[in-house]
Amino acid sequence: MELKEFQLNAVKSLFEAMDKPVRDIILKSPTGSGKTIILTYFMHQYIQSYPKTVFVWLTPGKGNLEEQSKAKMDKYIHASQTKLLSDVMTAGFEENDSCFINWEKLTKKGNNALKDSERTNFLEHIEHALNDGLRFIIIVDESHQNNTIKADEIIQYFRTEKIIRCSATPKGIAKAEVIEIPEEEVIAAGLIKKMLVINQDFPQTVETEDQTAYLLERALQKQRELRAAYLQMDVDINPLIIVQIPNKSETLLDGVERWFEAQGLTYENGQLAVWLSDRHENLEGIDAPAAPSTAVIIKQAVATGWDCPRAQILVKLRDNMDETFEIQTIGRIRRMPEAKHYGSDLLDSCYLYTFDEKFTAGVKMALDKDDQVCGYQFLSLGKMMDFIKKGDDANTALEKAKGHYGQWDSAAKYIDPRQE
């Protein structure tokens, strides 16, 4: 496994932070920066240098993120000694273990992992390991979702001196050592897309009675344009549209499904997928570069911890989400499918289609002398989050994080399409 320079620098910074007199270390890494590669490489190197260590990697959610992370470490680090919760319950914690545990499986009501039973319970496994002289280091993945009182109570049982909290959108921890991976370095390495383009191909004035159909039509047009561009470069990638709908919106869900069906994209032919808390269809293999599905419908399931680098277009039908959730969701379309740029603004960008005013307000288009669109504004999410962290309100951060796409500087005039 060959790490990028910024990834090696992050590993070095983690080692340095381990020697500092603070318990909490925050690894702030943009989505797509290879956080799992960085951490698994660090874990392996650390165990080689410091025996009697056990890493416990805690994950949130219902997406089997702990299994994905374990599988990645098994792939990247062939000599690794990895376990899931079931393995810990059977064999306990052992020297040099890297244990991947879904947080909700420990705290969910009715789970046997924390109950007295015929097997030694989870807390007793921790005590046995501590009595054997083992030292626990905790990694809290997607820490913005794990920041709960109950989580901290469980972590205390490990009596750890170090907690590494990881997220693209970390929540503040007092007296923490912060390691931040600059988004510009991740872009320069070709791992994530250069730009987020908002509402490209919209006319100067949008007049429609069906906003949902309007957004879906523009997204599907963009998907077909991207697909053709990849094939022209002899690259077999089928770009994926993510359609995000609000909770408790069965009528809207039905309308989206009917619209796709009218375009020939159905669950039956494998070109449409859905990932809801109570419904999964056509998700197996969806992350493959040339998977048949053109679109996947979601609510919140894939906002965190889902890797599908061919995802390139987001249709956002859901308004009023908190900023952490929005950044995490848009992060799903930022990965480069082959971890490299193609030298094409079209393929090196990701696309958002929405009528959410948080994103559309003030977004301008550039027109040439013939009143033809020749440029757009786009949003740098990493910069936006940095400005918010430094104290800017969301609107100020949004404005400061905008950039230009296309022939912006040479345009004859600039317009706000919502006011023209």
The full DSSP string for 1-68 is ----HHHHHHHHHHHHHHTSS-SEEEEE--TTS-HHHHHHHHHHHHHHHSSSEEEEEEE-SSS-HHHH
Which residues have C-beta within 8 Å of that of residue 134, sequence separation ≥ 6?
52, 53, 54, 93, 94, 95
pLDDT at 2: 85
Instruction: Give the residue-averaged pLDDT of 166-173.
Output: 67
AA identity, residue 280: H
Residue 345: both structure tokens together? 């603004």
Region of poorest pLDDT, from 119-133, 178-192, 206-220, 297-311: 297-311
Per-range mean pLDDT, top range of 137-146, 177-186, 312-321, 349-358 = 177-186
Residue 318 has pLDDT above 90, yes or no: no
The whole-angstrom separation of Cα 126 and Cα 92 is 8
Task: Calculate the average pLDDT of the chain.
Answer: 83
pLDDT score, position 104: 72
- CB count within 10 Å of CB 368 equals 14
Confidence class for position 418, pLDDT limits 50, 70, 90: very low
Query: Does the predicted model carry a pTM greater than 0.95?
Result: no
Can you say whether residue 133 is alpha, beta or left, with left for phi > 0 and alpha for psi between -120 and 50 degrees?
left
Per-residue pLDDT band at 356 (split at 50, 70, 90): confident
| H or E element in which residue 306 lies | none
Beginning with the edge strand found earlier in the chain, give each strand of the sheet holding 163-167 in spatial order: 82-84, 98-102, 53-59, 135-140, 163-167, 24-28, 177-180
Query: b vs e for 253-287, b when ≥16 Cβ sit within 10 Å of the residue's Cβ?
Result: bebbbebbeeeebeeeebbbbbbeeeeebbbeebe
> 198 or 289: whose pLDDT is higher?
289
Residue 174: the pLDDT is: 72
pLDDT at position 119: 46
**274-300 pLDDT per residue, tens:** 988 788 999 999 999 999 999 999 986
Specify whether the CB–CB gap between 315 and 292 falls below 8 A. Answer: no
Task: Give yes or no for residue 265 having a pLDDT over 90.
Answer: yes
Q: Residue 166 contacts by C-beta under 8 Å, 6 or more apart in sequence?
A: 26, 27, 29, 35, 39, 139, 140, 141, 142, 143
Q: What pLDDT, on a 0 to 100 scale, did the predictor assign at position 73? A: 94
Could you give the residue range(s) of every CATH 3.40.50.300 domain in the chain? Answer: 5-185, 193-360
Specify the pLDDT at position 249: 82
Choose between 372 and 58: higher pLDDT. 58
Q: Which CATH number is 193-360 given? A: 3.40.50.300
236: pLDDT confidence band, cut at 50, 70 and 90? very high
Q: What is the pLDDT of residue 159?
A: 95
3-class SS at 136? Answer: strand
Task: State yes or no: pLDDT of 149 exceeds 90.
Answer: no
More confident residue, 379 or 343: 343
For residue 178, give the DSSP letter.
Answer: E
Beta-bridge partner residues of 319: none
Pick from 92-101, 185-194, 255-264: least confident: 185-194
User: What's the pLDDT score for residue 217?
Assistant: 96
pLDDT at residue 302 greater than cutoff 60: no
Better-predicted residue by pLDDT, 371 or 275: 275
Three-state SS for 212? helix
Nearest to 310 by CA among 340, 338, 270, 277: 338
pLDDT at 342: 96
For domain 5-185, say whether CATH 3.40.190.10 is its number.
no
Using CA atoms, how far apart are residues 371 and 350, in angstroms rounded to an integer?
25
Higher pLDDT among residues 63 and 140, named by residue: 140
In b/e form, how buried is each residue of 22-40, taking b as 16+ CB within 10 angstroms? Answer: bebbbbbbbbbbbbbbbbb
Give percent of the chain with pLDDT exceeding 70.
Answer: 78
Q: Which two tokens stand for residue 282?
A: 């056509």
- Where would I find the H helices in 58-182? 65-76, 85-91, 103-107, 122-131, 143-146, 149-156
As a whole number of Å, the end-to-end CA separation of the chain is 53
